Structure 1
Amino acid sequence: MKWSELKAGLLEAGTAKITGGIKGIISVSTAGPSSGEGGSVFFSSGNMRVRLSIADDSPVEIVITDRDNAVLKFEGEEVEGRVEPAALHCPRQAFITVSEGCIFRCRYCSVPTQEKKFKSPERIEEMIEEVLPDIDCISLTSGVIGSPEEDEERVIEVVKRVMKFGLPLGVSIYPLKDTPEKLHGLGVLEVKFNLETATDKLFREICPGMEREQIMDALIESVRLFGKNRVFTNIILGAGESDSEMKACISELTALGIIPVIRPLTPKAEMSDFKRPSRRRILDIAEYLGVEIRKNGLDTTVAETMCTACTGCDLVPGRDF
């Protein structure tokens, strides 16, 4: 079975049960739809990687044979590889959440129900120093605590502090009008501002209080400032959109020089009764994304930070197939 087909099935499952020692290799997310879960693991084979939440009842099994080797078993397939340690949130990255918690209440996300707290620039600097030998880049994300303006200020202070490490830096926050210009002026390499849904209608239903047009404007301005292959946006697959709506969104974004990160829905919070998208749909949409990326002269392999560099949670054209 091709890796892309296998990974689509793994992303549909979303989980894995672990046999063997797991000390030091569990990653716990504090941002996004997987926040607050009991942990996850990153399985890699060669240059391919997938992130799966840990669940004892999963149809996927990862057998850890020793610290550097593991076997993934799924539907009669056995793939040799390893479980990668997460530096901070994911392998080879210091991917740090500045503000844990959020004033917005997107229906797919449990972050607003968690305790609201934020890390100081000093603490984030210490965290990075602790993992420096094991990372290739720094990625910052954040919920919104207080107001978008307050949170932007917090993130900018962190950006100023961590630029001294001389590593590629990516930032993903809720953008204001001048956010792209501010981040570009500070030397940030890549940005990801999340549109979340394939349509404006779904966005209004799922992310009340947020402004999708504002996010789109920031993405367009970012392409002008950062250039092609440096601007990304998460789009959830399985939030109620049709295939034609998802494809239209992909075509629009890639034509503008924006690379969509197609993220299979994790059913939780107010959308816990939804189902994860099927492997066939995950693969079909990823293949369409690949066509549109190539048609518009984009290249996912250029990404140096955040989700497209990691590939754990998504099927990424140009990296997975």
Structure 2
Amino acid sequence: MWESLKAQLLEIGTVQLTGADAAEYESTSTAGPGAGGRGSVFFSYEGHRVRLAVADESPITIRHIGGGTVMLTYGCIEVLGKLEKPGSHCPGQAYITISGSCIFHCKYCPVPANAAPTKSVEEIVSLVRDAGDIEAISLTSGVAGSPEEEEARTLAVVKALRVFDLPIGVSIYPVAGTARRLHEAGAAEVKFNLETATPELFAKMCPGMDRDRINAELDEAVRLFGRNHVFTNLIFGLGETDEEMKAAVGDLCARGIIPTLRPFSPGGELKDLARPGFKRFMSLYKHHRSVLAANGLDTREAETMCIACTGCDMVPGRD
């Protein structure tokens, strides 16, 4: 039931909040699918979760009864569940954006248009300290100046956060040697995003970025961090075919890299492009699940970032 329900909810991606005040359960984001938006909530049902952007109008309604208990309604579907309090951006983790601006202009990304400041090491340490009961720390970042400067800033943050004795996951745009330096600094997991299924689509969507370098750092990361601890986002819904997406998933899994299949969320220069539909969600999810299993990869071993959260994506092994 959950897999089908989550795919239907992610197809819409938004929710209208009604009932008792739910402000303490709302989270805002300066990176990822919700960057620059009004905010989002994490709906939980029997140990599973989905993240939905709060909107003034949506076919999905969540009525807050009180104390985090809610009734989700979508068409003829009614499900009693809970809203989860975000630690910092997502439940169970302090998920922090270091630099909220970016010199790159990926066509689907809202970050350049909603630039936020760069946080200091001290600010980030304070955010983690105030995040409450968390099990992991996750860091992501735009590229405020140069990729080299961003890496140096991230390394300083990772070293400062080791005092918390929690697994630290890092997702940044890499330069040569980034995987090794993050490993030496004490990161537990890394995510370097290929973003698209094909090199041709990457060149169109992410001008100025180096896909070959990302691939090289992903392979080096598997050697250093091990299988099940290296990830990459693949956005579906940007114009790739199912065959192209499935080929990309197969290649990554064979190399020991777990891909996160992220549904396109309208934003950036592509605000008018539609989100993927339910049938495509389910088809790619089932393929993803079978390819992970065939290559001996297990998402349940992930400790940080999106695979551990599961809010924005369908994650085989956890959903």
Q: TM-score, normalized by length of structure 2?
A: 0.98
Partners of 1:310 and 1:115 lie apart in 2 by 25
Counterpart amino acid of residue 220 in structure 2? E
Deviation for aligned residue 1:115: 3.1
What secondary structure sits across from 1:118 in the alignment?
Answer: coil
What secondary structure sits across from 1:17 in the alignment?
Answer: strand
Partners of 2:27 and 2:134 lie apart in 1 by 15
Match of 1:3 in 2: 2
Superposed counterparts of 1:28-107, under 5 Å: 28-107=28-107
Matched-pair contact (CA < 8 Å) for 1:116–1:145: no
Matched-pair contact (CA < 8 Å) for 1:232–1:259: yes
Deviation for aligned residue 1:164: 0.7
Deviation for aligned residue 1:187: 1.8
Structure 1: runs of 5 or more not aligned: none
Match of 2:13 in 1: 14
Deviation for aligned residue 1:116: 4.9
Partners of 1:71 and 1:193 lie apart in 2 by 37
Match of 1:303 in 2: 302
Counterpart amino acid of residue 218 in structure 1? E
After the TM superposition, which of the residue ranges 110-119 and 176-185 deviates more from structure 2?
110-119
Instruction: State percent identity of aligned pairs.
Output: 52
Match of 1:245 in 2: 244
Counterpart amino acid of residue 73 in structure 2? K
Matched-pair contact (CA < 8 Å) for 1:102–1:116: no
Deviation for aligned residue 1:120: 0.5
The reply to whether residue 163 of structure 1 matches residue 162 of structure 2 is: yes
Match of 1:210 in 2: 209
What secondary structure sits across from 1:79 in the alignment?
Answer: strand
Structure 1 residues 186-206: Cα deviation after superposition (integer angstroms, max 9, x where no partner): 221110000000000000000
Partners of 1:35 and 1:315 lie apart in 2 by 19
Does the C-alpha gap of structure 1 residues 68 and 110 become closer, same or farther in structure 2, counting only changes over 3 Å?
closer
Deviation for aligned residue 1:94: 0.3
The reply to whether residue 115 of structure 1 matches residue 115 of structure 2 is: yes
Match of 1:143 in 2: 142
Counterpart amino acid of residue 13 in structure 1? I
Matched-pair contact (CA < 8 Å) for 2:42–2:49: yes
Deviation for aligned residue 1:32: 2.4
Deviation for aligned residue 1:56: 2.4
Counterpart amino acid of residue 108 in structure 2? Y
Aligned residue pairs total 318
Matched-pair contact (CA < 8 Å) for 2:103–2:143: yes
Superposed counterparts of 1:158-237, under 5 Å: 158-237=157-236
Counterpart amino acid of residue 120 in structure 1? S
Deviation for aligned residue 1:75: 2.2
Matched-pair contact (CA < 8 Å) for 1:198–1:236: yes
Structure 1 residues 41-89: Cα deviation after superposition (integer angstroms, max 9, x where no partner): 0000121100000112211111111113111111211111101111111
Deviation for aligned residue 1:285: 0.2
Structure 1 residues 113-147: Cα deviation after superposition (integer angstroms, max 9, x where no partner): 2335210001100111112x321100000000110
Match of 1:266 in 2: 265
Partners of 1:103 and 1:56 lie apart in 2 by 32
